[in-house]
Structures are given as structure tokens and as C-alpha cells.
Amino acid sequence: MTNAAEAIKIDQYLEIVLRRRWLIIIPFCLSMMAGIYLALTLPKYYSAETLILVQPQRVPSSYVRSIVSTDLDSRLSTLSQQIMSRTNLENIINEFELFHGPDFENMFMEDKVSSMRKRIKVKLTRARRGADAFSISFKGKDPEKVMKVANALATYFIDENLKVREAQAIGTSDFLQDELAVMRGKLEDVEKALREYRKKYMGELPEQLDSNLRILDRLQENLSEKQQSLREARASLAELLKMRQQTQVIQTPDGMVHVETPVSSLDQLKKRLADLENRYTDLHPDVIRLKNRIAGLEAKAETEAERAAGDSDIERSETETGFIAANNRQVLETKREISFLGSEISKLIRQIKIYEKRVEDTPKREQQLLALKRDYQNIQSTYNSLLARKLEAEIAVNMERKQKGEQFRILDSARLPVKPVEPDMKKLFMLVVAAGLGIGGGMIFMLEYFDTSFRKPDDIESYLGVSVLATVSSIYHSKDKIWRTINQSLSVFSLMAAFILFAGFAVLCLKGVDQTIEFIRKFVDL
């Protein structure tokens, strides 16, 4: 039952289409003619595309590192802005005579440049084996000019990329050179400050602390020795003065005079010498000086003793006088020695204070010197880093100048376009066919919707609710037959015309206007 119902509906639809065939054929033919007209008259825009490969630098990056490290997308954006500047686009427009002709006489240059920008497209893509690449396309009406402009734009991109990379490398090198000069000046200033600081505080520097401590120990030891020598000299002076007081002149019964000199002073000096020899060497100044004094006293004592044995009273008197004079000389020498030792002690005390002050100030000088050295090391490290980068930048500049760095290379040049990209002929074809069929179908639907006539017995039965007993088929007169034949012939010719128009429009859309015209010319020549 379902198949029968579907068959009835299909028959009904076919009957409606055949009966209303002109409402389909005429709008369809008109749509095809309109589509052919649009396909022939609409302005054709052709597009040419150049594929450019981003070729990595030829020198391994482990040996020479490029200083142009921006990503490809950013560089393409920058290059696009430079390439599509007004000055550059005006040169391209004038060079290739774009926007020339009567239609563009009243067009301002700003409008030409704006239209030119809209027709240029830069697209980042991926080339074979995953390498970076990008395409440059240009759209226009003249296929040959479109191809030339696309290739020219690719050349501009390549040249501009080389200029930009070299300029960036040179700019980086110059910047590093300026920074290097600044750091060199700072480094020299810190070096000068270090020299002046060392010169100003010479003797108080940390590396001189051990030397100062050794000198301070030696000075304190010398001070102790001098103080001991001073005490001994003062004791010797006291003995000499005591000896002077103890010296007596004795009158003998025979009227002779003799001098009684105590020997305890000489013994005391010998004891003092023994004490000094236990502490110092024989070359010590105090030991030498005391030995000389003892030797002098012993020599004088022997001389006086020899003279006392055989001299007369007058000679003994002279001996007494000589002994007193010798004692006075010893007292004077001892006083001089005491004065000298006091002066030496004062000098040693002053020197000790100086070295104690140096040792005391050494930690403070060490902190200040560490601060200067830290500044020097930081600046030195920055300077060395800048110097290394400057050398790398110079190598990178030479690499860019010799075109050994990253480059743009044309992988696929722009070719002469054959088919236009605008208008989209496939979309136009679908739109025109849909419009032709849609208009006819819509008209048929509206007419059938408002048509109240009876076409079949079923319509009468469903409307009146009674059964149809019999039907009479159509009766045609001779004129009706002629008209029917003409109508059928016109229908056939109309269908053929619609098919031809459809085929022609399809060929125009699929093959293009130029190829279709060329095919027609060849067919006509045959």
C-alpha cells in the first residue's frame, strides 16, 4: 500500500510538472541566460602566489649564534608593514602601470594604494618536511601583471629581509660597542679608586695585617729590652754615684796617702753582663757597650794598682785624682746612655701606637676595600660579558653581510593564472541553477495551492463525498491536435535550449571564460 501511495504521488508530481512545464522552463532558461551574462560581464580577478622558504643559517648555530632571534610571524608582520608602505606601493603601481586606463583617471592615489594593500596577502604556511615558509599572493584583473607583481613582491621581501637582518645586527653591534665604552669608563674609575685607596691607606690594608703584627711584636720586644736596659743603666748610675761617695783617702803612719776603692761596682757590672749574655747574643749593642765599660774599668784598675805599688806620695795623689775623674766620666756616659735609652723608648712607643692604630683600622679598611673590589668584580664581569657579546655580534654582522645567515628563498615562483578567483564561478553556478529551479517551483506551488479545479475523479469523490460512476476522456478537435503538436514541439525545443544554456553555463563556470571562448573558436574553425 505504501509503495502504491508513493507511486500515485510521484505520478501526481510528474503530471503537475508536465502541465506546468513552462513555469519551469522559462525561468530556468532566463536564469541560465542571466548566469551566462554575469559570467561573461562580471570583472574577473586573477590571483598569483609565490611560496618562499625560510632557509636556516648555513653556519651551525653552535659555532655562530644569530642575534636576529625574533619569531617568523613577528618578522613577517614587520616586513609586510615596510613592503606595503605608501612609498613602496606607489613605486609598484607606477612600475607595472596598475590602475591605468580611463576607468581610473579620477581615482586618487590614496585609493589606489588602499586597494593595492587589500589585494596583497601574506600567509604563514608550512613547506615540505615541516620547514617554515610563507606565501605572498596578489589579486588583480590582468593575469600577466598579477604574476609580475607577485614575483616582484617576493623579491622585495627577500631584499628587505636581508637589509633588516643586517641593520639589526649592525645596530646590536653598535649598541654593544657604546655599552662597552661606558663599562670601560666605569671600570677605569673603579680601578683608579682602588689605586688611590691603597695609596691613601698604605700600611692599613688587610694583606699587610700579618706584617704589621710581626713589626708590632718586634717593637714591643725592643721596647721591653730598652726598658730593661734603662733600668740597668739607672742601677749602674746609682752604683757609680755610691762608689764616688764611698771612695776615701787614708793617711798612713809614715805620712803616705792611698786610695781605697771598693771592687763591688766592677763585680756588679760583671753580674749585669752575665745576665745580658743569657738573654742576648754577643752582638747586642748593650752587651758590647757593657763589655767595653768592664774592660776599661779593669784596665784602669790594673794600671792604678801598678802605680800604687811604687809611686811616691805625689804620684798617689795623682792616682786619686785620676780615679775620681774616671768615675765622673763613667757617670757622664751612664747619664748619656740613660738619655739615649729614654729617647729610644719614646720613639718605640710612638711607633707602637702607629702600628696599633694600623692593626685597629685594618677591619674597617678591609670592609671598604671589599666594597670597592665587589664593585670592580661586578663591573669587570659585566664588561667581559659585553665584550664576548660584542665579538659575537661582529661575527654575526659578518655572517649577515656574507649572506650566510637565515635567508628567504623562492620555492615556487608565481605563474600565469588561468582561472579567475573572483567571482567564484562554482558558487555562481549553484546560485543561478537554484534560482531558476526555485522560481519555477515556487510559482508552481503557489498556483497549485490556490487552484480549486478538479483534475481527477478522486478529487470529486473526496470533495462531494459521492462515488464517480464513469469518466469521459479528453476529446480533441483537429485544431486542438495541431496546437498540441506545436506545444509539444516548442516544449522539446525549449528543453533543448534549456539544456544547451545549462551546458554552456556549466562549461563557463568549470573551465573559465577564456578557455570556453578558445574552445568555441577552435570548434568554429573546424
Sort 393 into a burial class: Cβ within 10 Å, 0-12 / 13-18 / 19+.
buried
51 and 38 assigned to the same domain: no
Q: In 129-202, which ranges are E strands? A: 132-140
Residue reference for cell 690594608: 205
Residue 194 lies in a domain: no
406 and 516 assigned to the same domain: no
Residue 418 lies in a domain: no
Alpha-carbon gap, residue 419 to 229, rounded angstroms? 123
81 and 22 assigned to the same domain: no
Please give the C-alpha separations between residue 475 and each of 12, 136, 469, 480, 481, in angstroms, as whole numbers.
21, 73, 19, 9, 10
**Tally of structural domains, the chain:** 3
Alpha-carbon gap, residue 223 to 217, rounded angstroms? 10
Q: Packing angle between helix 285-310 and helix 209-246, nearest 10 degrees?
A: 20
From 362, 383, 404, give the residue that closes a domain. Answer: 383
**Residue 254, all three cell numbers:** 809614715
Residue 192 lies in a domain: no
Q: Give the tens place of pLDDT for each residue, 313-351.
A: 545 555 556 666 777 787 788 788 888 888 989 998 999
- Do 169 and 91 contact (CB within 8 A), yes or no? no
Residue 349 lies in a domain: yes
Find the domain containing 396 and state its range.
47-180+392-412
153 and 80 assigned to the same domain: yes
- Do 33 and 392 contact (CB within 8 A), yes or no? no
- Nearest alpha-carbon partner for 395 in 60, 64, 22: 64
- Do 107 and 381 contact (CB within 8 A), yes or no? no
Question: Residue 50: its pLDDT value, please?
Answer: 92
- In 3-state terms the chain splits into helix, strand, coil percentages (rounded to 5) of 75, 10, 20
268 and 374 assigned to the same domain: yes
152 and 256 assigned to the same domain: no
Q: Largest alpha-carbon pair distance within the chain? A: 220
Residue 186 lies in a domain: no
Residue reference for cell 623562492: 410
Alpha-carbon gap, residue 429 to 510, rounded angstroms? 9
320 and 236 assigned to the same domain: yes
396 and 477 assigned to the same domain: no
Question: Residue 454: its pLDDT value, please?
Answer: 65
Question: Residue 188: its pLDDT value, please?
Answer: 92
126 and 239 assigned to the same domain: no
Residue 457 lies in a domain: yes
407 and 370 assigned to the same domain: no
The full length of the chain comes to: 526
Q: Packing angle between helix 209-246 and helix 264-279, nearest 10 degrees?
A: 170
Residue 198 lies in a domain: no
**The whole model's pTM is what?**
0.58
298 and 445 assigned to the same domain: no
- Nearest alpha-carbon partner for 162 in 500, 402, 456: 402
Residues of the chain with confidence (pLDDT) below 50: 1-8, 248-262, 312, 314
Neighbouring-strand partners of residue 133: 53, 125
Alpha-carbon gap, residue 133 to 165, rounded angstroms? 17
- Do 258 and 308 contact (CB within 8 A), yes or no? yes
- Nearest alpha-carbon partner for 323 in 258, 275, 382, 379: 258
Residue reference for cell 749602674: 236
Residue 191 lies in a domain: no
31 and 85 assigned to the same domain: no
